């Protein structure tokens, strides 16, 4: 083994390790990757928030690219995200909501106060649909494609920035796919 | 006075333990669900909200819901592994405190042993080289010269 290799090897190993740890520092441990990505969306059927006698289910997503946004009135970051959802709805993005472990009246009041970006909301009182979708922190936003497959999940509030750079390009791409 | 203080202490301590015990739901442990088995299982599952706590330790709302879910699955006769599979399908391997052995975790499980083997190999090599040097620090030619030098030095001193 040439001499310089012997001296360089520890240096290279050190740099590699430092790089790995540095990368680790910039990762957010709160973001747990979902095993549901690229899998068919879990089946659900729940009463509507505003019309309790209607049912909201996967059938509503069929054939269209849909956002499924998990929110609640007790969730502070949801309030922060709300204006972004309003903008998306204005641009014609289909958004369904999962009102997660909330009070029906407070949720209805919220939509009256701040505007309603949702085509409809499923009312998940006991959070079971949330568990089936792997929800662990609100807000969460799932992107469901025309085939009813979950293609992406945003954990935490949507921001104008992340919508412009990640969400909208993805939606554009999914719109082009066959239904 | 001292009695009143003691009484206060007793009251404080008893209410405190009451508050701590309130975290766990009072489930009806029937024939299907053994309480020890249930407690053992939720201690192996991670709460996703407060990530350094197990489902057994956590008081987060999601932990309550997941404990209910675990209990119901057990009550329906699911095995521990089936309950784990159910949660992994929704939340990923992250819910398990004990990561499973599979290609993506090989480096996690085998990495330390690989490093240990490399270390041992290097140690062996170094030791071998050193012992060789200790046996004969000089080549045959050098030893011949050494003898000459030492041999010629002796008469000088005499």
**A47 forms bridges with which residues in the sheet?**
A55
Across the range A137-142, mean pLDDT stands at 92
Across the range A2-19, mean pLDDT stands at 87
Inter-residue contact A155 to A31 (CB < 8 Å): yes
End-to-end CA distance of chain A: 60
**A142 forms bridges with which residues in the sheet?**
A68, A153
Residue B21 is predicted with a pLDDT of: 44
Residue the block writes with tokens 């009451």: B18
* C-alpha distance from residue B81 to each of A33, B70, B97 (Å): 21, 11, 14
ipTM of predicted assembly, 2 dp? 0.82
Is the model's pLDDT at A49 over the cut of 60?
Answer: yes
Q: Does B90 contact A29 at a Cβ distance shorter than 8 Å?
A: no
Q: In total, how many domains does chain A have? A: 1
Q: Does B89 contact A32 at a Cβ distance shorter than 8 Å?
A: no
State the residue range of the domain holding A136.
30-176
- Contacts A28 to B, Cβ<8 Å: none
Q: What is the CATH number of the domain that holds A84?
A: 3.40.30.10
Give kind and range of the element (H or E) at residue A103: none
Q: Comparing B149 with A120, which gets the higher pLDDT?
A: A120
Residue A60 counted as domain residue: yes
CATH label, B27-100, candidates 3.30.413.10, 1.10.8.640, 3.90.1150.10, 1.10.10.10: 1.10.8.640
What is the nearest CA distance from B48 to chain A, expressed in angstroms?
Answer: 6
Task: List average pLDDT for each run of 10 residues in chain B, which is 158 residues long.
Answer: 71 58 63 81 89 87 91 89 93 89 88 94 91 72 82 56
Measured torsion, CA atoms of residues A62, A65, A70, A75, in degrees rounded to the nearest 10: -150
Q: Is A124 helix (H, G, I), strand (E, B) or coil?
A: strand
What is the nearest CA distance from A91 to chain B, expressed in angstroms?
Answer: 31
Concatenated DSSP letters for B12-39?
Answer: HHHHHHHHHHTTS------SS--HHHHH
Residue A116 counted as domain residue: yes
Q: What are the residue boundaries of the structural domains of chain B, listed by start?
A: 27-100, 105-157
Residue B154 is predicted with a pLDDT of: 53
Residue B27 is predicted with a pLDDT of: 73
Full-model pTM: 0.76
The two three-digit tokens of residue A89, written as one number: 């709805």
């Amino acid at each position: 083994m040439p001499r310089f290799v012997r001296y360089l090897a520890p240096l290279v190993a050190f740099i590699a390790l430092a790089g790995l740890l540095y990368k680790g520092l910039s990762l957010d441990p709160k973001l747990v990757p979902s095993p549901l990505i690229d899998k068919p969306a879990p089946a659900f059927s729940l009463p509507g928030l505003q019309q309790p006698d209607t049912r909201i289910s996967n059938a509503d997503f069929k054939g269209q690219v849909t956002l499924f946004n998990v929110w609640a009135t007790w969730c502070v970051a949801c309030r922060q995200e709300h204006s972004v959802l309003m903008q998306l709805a204005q641009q014609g993005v289909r958004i369904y909501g999962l009102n997660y472990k909330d009070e029906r009246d407070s949720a209805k009041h919220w939509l009256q106060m701040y505007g309603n970006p949702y085509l409809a909301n499923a009312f998940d009182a006991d959070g079971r649909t949330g568990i089936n979708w792997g929800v662990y922190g609100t807000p969460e936003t799932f992107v469901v494609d025309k085939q009813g497959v979950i293609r992406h999940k945003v954990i935490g509030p949507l921001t104008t920035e992340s919508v412009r750079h990640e969400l909208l390009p993805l939606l554009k791409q999914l719109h082009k796919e066959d239904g | 006075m001292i009695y009143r203080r003691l009484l206060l202490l007793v009251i404080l301590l008893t209410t405190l333990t009451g508050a701590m015990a309130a975290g766990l739901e009072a489930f009806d442990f029937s024939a299907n669900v053994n309480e020890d088995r249930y407690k053992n299982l939720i201690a192996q599952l991670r709460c996703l909200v407060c990530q350094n706590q197990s489902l057994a330790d956590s008081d987060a709302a999601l932990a309550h819901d997941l404990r209910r879910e675990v209990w119901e699955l057990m009550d329906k006769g699911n095995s521990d592994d089936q309950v784990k599979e159910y949660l992994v399908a929704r939340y990923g391997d992250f819910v398990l405190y004990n990561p499973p052995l599979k290609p993506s975790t090989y480096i996690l499980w085998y990495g330390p042993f690989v490093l240990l083997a490399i270390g041992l190999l290097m140690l062996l090599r170094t030791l071998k080289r050193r012992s060789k040097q200790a046996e004969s620090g000089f080549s045959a030619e050098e030893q011949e010269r050494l003898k000459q030098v030492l041999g010629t030095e002796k008469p000088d001193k005499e």
